[in-house]
Amino acid sequence: MRKITLKHTMPAKLARHLDEDLNESQRAAVTAPDGYNLILAGPGSGKTRVITYRVAFLIARGIPAQSILLVTFTRRAAREMVHRLETLVGPGAQKVWAGTFHAVGNRILRRPAHLLGYEPNFTILDGEDQLDLVKLAWQDAGLSGQAKLAPKPDEIMRLISLGLNTRQTLADLVAGPHPHLADWLPQIEKVAEAYAARKRAANCMDYDDLLGLWLKLIREFPDQLREQADLFRHILIDEMQDTNALQVETVETIAAAGAGNLTAVGDDAQSIYRFRGANYDNILEFPKRHPGSRTFMLDVNYRSTPQIVALTADSIRHNRSGFPKALTSARGDGLLPAVVATADVYEEADLVCQQVLEARDNDVPLGEVAVLYRNHYDSVVLQGELVTRGIPYSVRSGLRFFEQAHIKDVLAHLRVAVNPRDEASWRRLLLMLPGIGPAKAAALFGKIGDSPDPIAAMATKEAMDAVPAKTRGLYAAFVGDMRKLLATDPERHPAEAINAILKGGYPAVVRQKYERPENRLADLEQFAVLAARYDSLERLLAELLLAGDVYGMDTVASSDPKDVLVLTTVHQAKGLEWSHVFVIRLVEDSFPHLRAVNEPGGDEEERRIFYVAVSRAKNELTLTYPSTITRGGYGPMTFATPSRFLTELEPTLYERAELDREFLPLEDDRPRGGR
């Protein structure tokens, strides 16, 4: 049989971009042959550009955009890549399957949900709703009578999640890192079974189900595996080092059943999410799992000065595992990173504030300055000093917007509108009514949950008789509010649905139940503005509950991000960059974290966290540590030990900065929190 080769002509614009915008190593990765490819991308090496150009190259070769799966770890990253892709290949870029693992799982599971015992309109539980159902399953398993001794529902919930994501059984986890739960294993397994049953009955999935049921779908239904293998001719995984066993097994199963085209992109030295179940071996062992795969190294840093890159490279050399690093900078010379010892945490905060203001005076916007720390509580003293000085700042480690209680209340209304069988949301709504506790809420849901029209069932005499007499008036008003909510056609007009909630009895609940009620109601008004961008309530709810990268921010005195200093944990800073970066509280037991270094592999994980921290800086990097500390803000002051990540650095790669302490006159002294 003759072999016919079909040649595609690459658009001149894309060919020019490949030639002009990429260095030699980037171009080799972008134009790699089909098969299994590993792209090791050091900090600032143009990883996003390479992934985007790789997808554009595949489309130019004739691969349909809808046959490409691009999995990222944040919605922001997916949006950025698709936007860049549009500039290269046009509007067809929107056809690429781009999104987080959970978002892709949500999209895939909708149509074949019935195969798994669900209906296509299933709703997604967030963490609090999930815990609510686990508590009920905990009671189902008979543990409520042994409450003082039994493992708590939240501990069991974490075990269930960890087991699913790491592909371990509950017995494996109990036998390994949780031996104190060995006597309770049969009951824990009963809780897990009851929890799964309750989710199916309520037509709800939690975040983990979006991954676990996706894998179950392709494992137990060969037609589904074949369909996905035929659909996804090329799979690209961003941040491979942050994947867990469940995620990798899913995409590698699909790739193996199909064309065998899988491109993994990441940096093993930036693997810092082991506590979430991320498996370091997913990237480290990639060449072993796929013999004959190709490895491409991106080691030219376009972000940082040579001095910062040299310190970054040196910071990771003490780790015994990992791919060898040969990082270089494409930029001109800059300042050596500075290491500064302060007298205590108050002077450390004082120093940071002064240096931040000095940078601003030198025309560096506050939004281009960040303070990084290993633990959120290490920022408290600094925040006090920032407030005292009136320096606007934001905290990136706060609650997600949709995890705030008043937002979750409104989401519960909306979720019931989409899925009237959503037990967790019904319970949240019913518990807002005075005189209705958990038992009464469960009894009420029992009367309406199985009805074809739960809203109508709420108004029946049987349901009304189950409500305490003193609550019936408020209950009747609540029923009326729910009817008005549905009358807005919330599925097509989610913004109108939120406004209907605000016009009902819920604002009175906010004023009675929460602090700063007017601020919360203003939040909800802005929520309605956000919702107006969506043409489907189902889509709004799914995207909000999958928005793992959207966080609320506590800002002071400014609404313009360019004028706001950033405070963030290193974990939240991953993937970001700033002109000037301060890494504070670099002492033993804090950075590295005491508990982490006592776990197997903990020392290397903590060193990778330090590597991520120092590689965020573009122009200036300052590392600080207090020489003395007190525990809990009181008690004797003790000398602190500088972090091992400082003492093991080559001394020629940084400069020791000496503080010139000019003391103010006594009458000008400002109070320092608790000192």
- The crossing angle, in degrees rounded to 10, of helices 494-503 and 517-531 is 160
Give per-residue burial for 331-347: e unless 16+ CB within 10 Å, then b: beebebbbbbbbebbbb
Sign of CA dihedral 106, 108, 111, 116: negative
DSSP 8-state class, residue 485: H
Tokens for 606, please give them.
């903590």
Q: Is 561 annotated as a binding residue?
A: no
* Through-space distance between the first and last CA atoms of the chain, rounded to whole angstroms: 86
Pick from 398, 390, 408: which is nearest to 129 by CA? 408
Per the listing, tokens 């549905």 go with 486
Please give the Cα distance from 667 to 650 (Å, whole number). 43
Q: Is 62 annotated as a binding residue?
A: no
Query: Exposed, middle or buried by CB within 10 Å (0-12, 13-18, 19+), for 61?
Result: middle
Q: Is 306 annotated as a binding residue?
A: no
Please give the Cα distance from 470 to 486 (Å, whole number). 26
Please give the Cα distance from 145 to 139 (Å, whole number). 8
Pick from 327, 374, 392: which is nearest to 602 by CA? 374
Residue 240 contacts residue 47 (beta carbons within 8 Å): no
Q: Is 43 annotated as a binding residue?
A: yes
Tokens for 136, please give them.
């009920």
Give per-residue burial for 297-306: e unless 16+ CB within 10 Å, then b: bbbbbebbbb
Tokens for 101, please give them.
């693992």
Q: Is 44 annotated as a binding residue?
A: yes
Strands 638-639 and 628-629: antiparallel
3-state helix, strand, coil in the chain (%, to 5): 55, 15, 35
What lies within 8 Å, CB to CB, of 182 at 6+ separation is: 174, 175
Q: Is 42 annotated as a binding residue?
A: yes
DSSP 8-state class, residue 43: T
Tokens for 470, please give them.
């003193």
Residue 583 is which amino acid?
V
DSSP 8-state class, residue 10: P
Query: Exposed, middle or buried by CB within 10 Å (0-12, 13-18, 19+), for 101?
Result: buried
Residues in the chain: 675
Please give the Cα distance from 167 to 245 (Å, whole number). 6
Pick from 254, 247, 252, 263: which is nearest to 101 by CA? 247
Per the listing, tokens 């004797």 go with 636
Strands 262-266 and 36-41: parallel
- Annotated binding-site members for ATP: 41-48
Residues making up the binding site = 41-48
